[in-house]
Amino acid sequence: MANEQQLQDAAGEANFATVIAKDSRIEPKDWMPGDYRHALVRQMSQHAHSEIIGMQPEVNWITRAPSLKRKAILMAKVQDEAGHGLYLYSATETLGTTRDTMTEQLLAGKARYSSIFNYPAVSWADMGAIGWMVDGAAITNQVPLCRASYGPYARAMVRICKEESFHQRQGFEILLELSHGTPAQKAMAQDAVNRWYAPSLMMFGPPDSDSPNSGKSMAWNIKRFSNDELRSRFVGMLAEQVKVLELDLPDPEVRFNEDAGKWEHGPLDWEEFKEVLAGRGPCNTQRMERRRAAHDDGAWVREAAAAYAAKQSAAHETAARKAA
Amino acid sequence: MIPTGSPHSQVPGSSPHSQARDGSRAAVGPRDGSRAGVGPSTGSESDTAHHRNPTPYSQGESSASATRITPGNALRPEDIALAAAAGTAKPSEGVAEYALRLGDDALILAQRLGHWISRGPELEEDVALGNIALDQLGHARSFLSYAGAAWGKTEDDLAYYRSESEFRSAHLFEQPNGDFAATIARQFIAASYQYPLYRELSGSSDPMLAAIAAKAVKEVDYHLDHSTQWVLRLGGGTEESRRRMIAGLENMWPYVGELFEDDPLAAHVGDAVVVPTSLKDEFDRATGAVLAQAELEVPAHPMATGGGRRGRHSEHLGYLLAEMQVLAREFPGASW
């Protein structure tokens, strides 16, 4: 018996190795190493949680959006994020971890979400900067994930990237409108770019020299480029687009290094990154409290829906028995 | 979290593709029996009305976007604003005043519902309530753009630069969200009112009102289904949900009366608008049927004195407007 299991595992392992070598896709029913499954659940649930927590800084401005068109676009964007969260939770469930479990982990503070959302959105221009820089960084990270080796994740990312690129464009458009508006509007835009610049660069994670999880992810074709490679690519995009905005990046060291053939930037404050990651950012407590409150306040609704569904199916069964 | 056969599989409007980006929506799903007499299947009169009043927008030149409007299809607020700017959409004073009422109802409701996003009892409800808010906001933008054409004002002029007494929303829409049951009660009343209203208005002699309503009625059909399902679930779920549903209905029901009050406007404008009292019987029948199925009673509270159509509002509207208008007013004349 054990022997048969071992044989199956060996066959599965061989298949897994072949799939990875051929840069093909692993599907939910395929054999996969425990570490691979674990790494995916960690990354995908973190991604889903980020979508959900990431709604909060933007929701903060829905009721105050300065035009009805902007209000509609912002509402649609935040709603997309809820959709992305749902989509990613579902994709993660294919790995055997339920949404309940993932939610519990988030609410218990055991699961992470992107640190960027622990910064406050204090002005309307932040809606532009979040779209242009935060969503821009997310896309830079996520486009290569459309080729990730785990099928459900890769397919989820294809759809999510399409919507994210729309989000980035609308963020850019908000900043463009502000930077070509009144002096006060332009100052608001510059202030937002100043505040979101470094946190958005840090979204790619610690420098390659200090990134413990990267090696395996690259070997498994989950991750395709290193944190620093993606960060450099992102800085290059910002450096070009900020000219169109007629704004400045708060980093005089941004330049294209001809010899190395890549974009470079000034030093980042990784101590701050670690502080925010450790729960000591400006909004960590606020974000979690808000999520818990929504979950707790909604408990009676979920219970009612479950109770109603149970009563309905019991009634259907009774009716079916009578008919039979 | 989501039990098998749970309501979430039926939550309408849960597509993340919202109408702000994409005017098209999936076809309306099968309806349960509780809605007999409310659905568009009984709305053959509105089809006839369309034939009676063919709109110039449905047959206009295909080259100009402002005239490429088909009732119920791809009518965007931007199209109406273009038509207003080009002078091809100019409502009479009475029609503009009427459009302002409906626009304000939808705008205030959208503002209220928007607050739920990220606070819903379940992610599916963040999406669904957000979708309903977006639909309402879209209707508001259309009605306000059209109303503004009479006075040389844009949707934003009307939304951001009117004072409280210049708003024409009914008190129902201004009521605070309360708990989820209170919001559902408000939604149930609002959709049960808007559904027949827009269905009838799609036969208006005013082609633009007809076109806006023809698009809106398809969306409000979802809203009605959404709130109906939740009234049934909360009414028949647990003891707590039933208690909260009853409280929500009792708190919102006094504002039903104002929705169906006639005033001189309807008589003055004639067949361009829908006379509010003409909708009351259907509202009573349809809501009564759902409440009966949920084994809930129609609240017997006396109706509150309204006045929203004359600019007399509840205590709540001022706070809502202060929040909604603050940024725009801080930068008067700015473009966003």
pLDDT digits (tens, 9 = 90+) for A57-89: 999 999 999 999 999 999 999 999 999 999 999
Q: Does position A7 have pLDDT exceeding 80, yes or no?
A: yes
Residue B266 — pLDDT band, cuts 50, 70, 90? confident
Tell me whether residues A80 and B20 touch, CB distance under 8 A: no
Tell me whether residues B336 and A66 touch, CB distance under 8 A: yes
Tell me whether residues B130 and A59 touch, CB distance under 8 A: no
> B291-319, pLDDT tens digit by residue?
999 999 999 989 999 999 999 999 999 99
Cα–Cα distances in Å, from B162 out to B94, B143, B146, B320, B323? Answer: 19, 16, 16, 13, 13
Of residues A68, A76, A89, nearest to B21 (C-beta): A76
Of residues B16, B21, B125, nearest to A83 (C-beta): B16
Q: Does position B155 have pLDDT exceeding 90, yes or no?
A: yes
Tell which of B34, B115, B117, B118 to mutate to test the A interface (max A CBs under 10 Å).
B118
Tokens of B294: 């949920």
User: Under 8 Å CB-to-CB from A167, ≥6 apart: which residues?
Assistant: A77, A80, A131, A135
Work out the minimum CA distance from B183 to partner chain A, whole angstroms.
Answer: 12
Q: Which residue of B has its CA nearest to A79?
A: B127
> A183-227, pLDDT tens digit by residue?
999 999 999 999 999 999 999 999 998 877 778 888 898 888 999
Residue A4 — pLDDT band, cuts 50, 70, 90? confident
Work out the minimum CA distance from A63 to partner chain B, whole angstroms.
Answer: 5
Given this model, what pLDDT does residue B15 score?
38
Given this model, what pLDDT does residue B39 score?
34
Given this model, what pLDDT does residue B30 score?
34
Given this model, what pLDDT does residue A185 score?
97
Rounded average pLDDT over A93-108? 96
CB contacts < 8 A, A to B, total: 186
Helix runs in chain B, H state only = 44-52, 77-86, 93-114, 123-149, 155-160, 171-174, 180-201, 207-236, 239-252, 256-259, 264-269, 280-293, 317-330
Give, to the nearest 10 degrees, the angle between helix A227-245 and helix A151-179.
30
Given this model, what pLDDT does residue A76 score?
96
Work out the minimum CA distance from B52 to partner chain A, whole angstroms.
Answer: 34
Average model confidence (pLDDT) across chain B: 83
Q: Does position B214 have pLDDT exceeding 90, yes or no?
A: yes
Rounded average pLDDT over A272-291? 94
Tell me whether residues B117 and A163 touch, CB distance under 8 A: no
Work out the minimum CA distance from B155 to partner chain A, whole angstroms.
Answer: 8
Residues of B in contact with A290 (CB under 8 A): 118-119
Q: Does position B87 have pLDDT exceeding 50, yes or no?
A: yes
Work out the minimum CA distance from B51 to partner chain A, whole angstroms.
Answer: 33
> B51-82, pLDDT tens digit by residue?
333 333 433 333 333 333 444 455 899 999 99
Tell me whether residues B328 and A73 touch, CB distance under 8 A: no
Tell me whether residues B238 and A304 touch, CB distance under 8 A: yes
Report the share of chain A in percent with pLDDT over 90.
90
Residues of A in contact with B140 (CB under 8 A): 68
Spell out the SS3 assignment of A173-205: HHHHHHHCCCHHHHHHHHHHHHHHHHHHHHCCC
Given this model, what pLDDT does residue A312 score?
94
8 Å CB contact between A140 and A87: no
Q: Does position B48 have pLDDT exceeding 50, yes or no?
A: no
Given this model, what pLDDT does residue A1 score?
56
Look at A157 and B30; give whichever has higher pLDDT: A157
In a 10 Å sphere around its CB, with 0-12 CB exposed, 13-18 middle and 19+ buried, how is residue B33 labelled?
Answer: exposed
Given this model, what pLDDT does residue B230 score?
98
Report d(CA A309, CA A306) in Å as an integer: 5
